[in-house]
Chains A and B, each alone.
Chain A
Amino acid sequence: MEALLDLLLVAIVLLNFFVLGTSRLRAVIRAVGAQGVILGVLPLLAHGAAGPRALLVVLPPVLLKGIVIPAMLMRALRTAQIKREVEPFLGFAPSLVLGALGMAAALALSQQLPLLPGQRSGLVVPASLATVLVGFVLLTTRLKAITQVLGYLVLENGIFLFGLLLMEAMPFLLEIAALLDLFVAIFVMGIILNHISREFSDIDTQHLSALRE
């Protein structure tokens, strides 16, 4: 179980690097979706729980992050007829370097934060912080509005991952509320995305530069 848990955490980190390094937008959406699914399943492995209650915890995030949101983004991609490339503001190689630096920073930072002896994997905190940082890199270095949404999703994934440490102890009300919020936020962003593409005929945030000092 623990080996598998660590393996999945490594997969999440690898997906981070994939997202930073790939140029195809569809692939990025799929990768972020896959990351969401892995995250959704993790609680089962971390706590070995099964039964209807566990299903209740696992199913909503898997459905939302793995299917609903990627489908929404794919649809946006089709209807807005966005060019299917990522168009980074910062090249792919520097992004990857930034991602690697982020990973190192996350490892260093998590050294400062003591873990309870009972926690199953020491990788949860660094993986979570690294994912948050990758989300930031995506948010700040990509031009298209849709990629910024993806950055926000990766950031949320990182935060969700941290929740794993608390999953046993906290009421999952918290999780449900967070997911609901995520859904609404993505929904609202989707609407705005639509308006942007209608108004500017594509969703490149370079158009969004009338307001500045």
Chain B
Amino acid sequence: MFALSILCPLGLAGLALAVPSNRWRPWLLPLAAAANLVLTAGILRRAGTFRGAGWVALDPAGALVLGLLAVLFGVCSFYTVGYLGHRQERSNRVFCACLLAFLSLANLVAWSRHLALLWVALEATTLAAAPLIYFNRNRRSIEATWKYLLVCSVGIALALLGSFFLAYACLHGGLAPSLHLGDLLAHAPRLSKPWLHGAFVLLLVGYGTKMGLAPLHTWKPDAYGEAPGVVGALLAGGMTSLAFLAVFRAFQVCAAAGEAAYARGMLLALGLFSMAAAGVFVVRQRDIKRLLAYSSVEHMGVLALGLGIGGAATAGAFLHLVNNALAKGLLFLCAGNIHRAYGAKTTDEVAGAARRLPLSGWLFLLGLLAATGSPPFGPFQSLFAIGRAALEAGRPWVAGSFGFFLLVVFTGMGATVLAVVQGPPSPAARSTAYRDGLLTGAPLLVFFGLVLLLGLWLPPPLADLLRQAAELVEGAG
């Protein structure tokens, strides 16, 4: 099962390089996504039997991310076919191959039970995503790709140093050094404390860079701003989830070593700082894709905060991981359509999207409500759970600033999104032939349906998975 989940997308990536037709090649994506979805569903159904002791095995947190990615990629793959249909002037050979390679590597990250394997796989997803950001091949996309590569490579390099520190913490604690998560968790209390602390800081900074926690988020607005919308959806919903999983692994080791309090302090600080930084930059943000990037910075802050608060907030953070991916998927695909229809993405030129593109326009507005935590959508549930857990944990200041930053982001994002959606279509906008079609419209509805569903009803299997994932650090019961 494991091998299939890695090799199937990878094989199709190879095939994508070989297919000569620019028109038919993108259909490999839904094919791979469907196969991956079926396979993942089978794996998750029998998740309990896949917990081995080897380098790869699936624990509840990994299973959650694996399932999440399968859904995200599944919906995005159909959209991509539609999107690339509008971009026939450009070869999509590398683009399709890299998307499929990204899926394969992302699955590997979810399966990794060894921190070195996790590191290699995560670094490889960074590299596989670079050509995706560079798809438009203009000056701005070069700049974005360069910043992304450099900042993320440096981050991931620090994470490697952190992994080394962790191995040395074993050695210094009198253990055989190992980066196997099972070994680390089993012997965690004997790890050398100073080295463990150093390791956690480096891992948090390193993988936090890839998550896009402020002040390590500098690559994010540029990369999300210049990449095609669907790539933004996959990065903001998928890659950040993988990076969060890596941070969670580091936290797991700390928690098992009895150093959870040390780690929590840092997660809280970074989380609140990210939300505050996002708040500063969303206000008067005219570029819709950059706006979404800052919203992603905010949501990553929420995830760190949830882990930092602990207790019920941990399950809340995992639920928010799912909600964030779905809401970001919806928003980025809408933004992609709007960008395509107007040939522009700033409020200077884009207005009246609700009239010109009824589906994308309205869903963009509803997606905004969802992403900022308004009921009845999914993120409301997870944000509410985290806020309530903060109060119950006796941290009124944390809960208060959490609420305040949410409000600031809501206002800031609301102003920009309303300017885009409302009013008459602006005369300054160029007229393009783009209208919402089946392939670029239906995926939006699917994301919208899912994000609404999670606000109204949490499917029991998902609830189980969330509870089990949280128990990995909170102890049973």
Contact = CB atoms under 8 A, between A and B. Distances in A.
Given A178-B160, A208-B142, A139 B154 contact: yes
Interface string A150-163: 00100110110011
Nearest to A162: B164
What's the interface size class on B, roughly? 35 or more
B377 to A, nearest CB: 29
Contact of A159 (B149, B160, B226): B160
B139 interface: yes
Interface of B is mostly: helix
A152 B195 contact: no
B116 interface: yes
B171 A162 contact: no
A113 B198 contact: yes
Interface stretch (B5-13, B123-131, B351-359): B123-131
B78 interface: no
B150 interface: yes
A132 B172 CA distance: 22
Q: Which of B149, B176, B198 has the most CB of A within 10 A?
A: B149
A152 B171 contact: no
Interface residues of A, number: 42
Determine which residue in A162, A174, A208 has the highest number of CB atoms from chain B within 10 A of its CB, and name it. Answer: A174
Interface string A191-213: 01001100110000101111101
A202 B102 CA distance: 31
Interface in B189-223: 192, 194-195, 198, 221-222
A181 B221 CA distance: 25
Nearest to A210: B140
A177 B176 contact: no
Contacts of A166: 164, 167-168, 171, 177
Interface in A100-158: 112-116, 132, 136, 139, 145, 148, 152, 155-156, 158
Interface of B: 116, 120, 123-124, 127, 130, 134, 137, 139-140, 142-147, 149-150, 153-154, 157-158, 160-161, 164-165, 167-168, 171-172, 176-177, 179, 192, 194-195, 198, 221-222, 225-226, 281
23 contacts: A112-B194, A114-B172, A116-B171, A132-B161, A145-B146, A148-B150, A152-B154, A162-B161, A162-B164, A169-B167, A169-B176, A174-B179, A184-B127, A189-B150, A192-B134, A195-B137, A208-B147, A210-B143, A211-B140, A211-B147, A211-B221, A211-B225, A213-B221
